Amino acid sequence: MNCKSVQTYLSAYLDGELCGQESLQVRDHLMRCGECQSEEHQLRTLKQMLRGLPTYSPNAEFENRLVASVMGKATGRPALRLHLNFRWQVATGMVAAGILIALAVTKLTERSVPGANALPVATRDSTFEFSRDQLFMAGNDPLSGNRFVVPTSYGKD
């Protein structure tokens, strides 16, 4: 196993979700690789911290309210049902099959555009630049409420 595959399996390894052989392979690699050990240590710390977070449970009334709400919706508006005879069922099926075939043919004969398989790239504009600068400033301000600012706006205006 190389570093890339070990790091893919690390989370499952720590959660005890790997089969015996995979688990042994990961453990074997970890004993030899400092970088993956460091990664494993960080992930373990993170998981421990997350386990320490408080859990929230809904109040006692929640289930009753949810069921009542769903039942109310279900009984409030009856579902629309079409009763078709056999001929109409065959015709509808054929039309649907025809649409599917047409879509498949269109897809297969589509010309490949150069660069179409490239990974998506964010569009950059002033909002992007604005987020970048806010990130820069927040990193320099230990008293800020947005100290660990995360850029969230990368779309066009």
Partner 1 sequence: MAKTKALLALVALGFSVAVQAAGQSEAERARQLLQKTLERSYPQNVIAIIMQRNGEANGSMQRIQVQINRDGKMRQTVIYPLSLEGVETIDDGRQSATFLPDENLVIVQESPKLLPNDAGTRINLTVRNYGLKLGGCATIAGRTATIVVATPKARELETRRYYIDEKTGFLLQLETMESNGKPKIAFQAQTVVYPAKISPQTFMIDLEVGNYQKTIYKRRGNILSMDSRGSSLGFEPILPDRLPMGFELQDAQINDSGDWRSVAVRITDGPVKGTVYQWPSSEKIGVKASSGTTTETAGGLKFVVAADVPEAARRRLLNAFLDAARRQADVPSLLGQTFQLELIGLDETLTRAVALLLAMPNGGGMPSVLPETW
| Contact set with partner 1 (CB under 8 A) | 35, 38, 41-42, 45-46, 49-50, 52-54, 119-122, 124-130, 132-137, 139-155, 157
Q: At what angle do helices 34-51 and 3-14 cross, to 10 degrees?
A: 30
How far is residue 95 from each of residues 75, 88, 92, 102, 112, measured CA to CA in Å? 33, 11, 5, 11, 29
- Dihedral through CA 7, CA 24, CA 38, CA 147, nearest 10? 50
Residue number with CB closer to partner 1 (62 or 154): 154
Nearer to partner 1, 3 or 100 (CB): 3
Nearer to partner 1, 78 or 120 (CB): 120
> Cα(56)–Cα(54) distance, rounded to whole angstroms?
7
**Minimal distance, residue 153 CB to partner 1, in Å:** 5
Whichever of 61 and 157 has its CB closer to partner 1, that residue is 157
Nearest approach, Cβ of residue 7 and partner 1 (Å): 11
At its nearest, how many Å lie between partner 1 and the CB of residue 120? 6
Is the distance from CB of 30 to CB of 6 less than 8 angstroms? yes
- CB 13 within 8 Å of CB 26: yes
CB of 12 to partner 1, least distance (A): 17
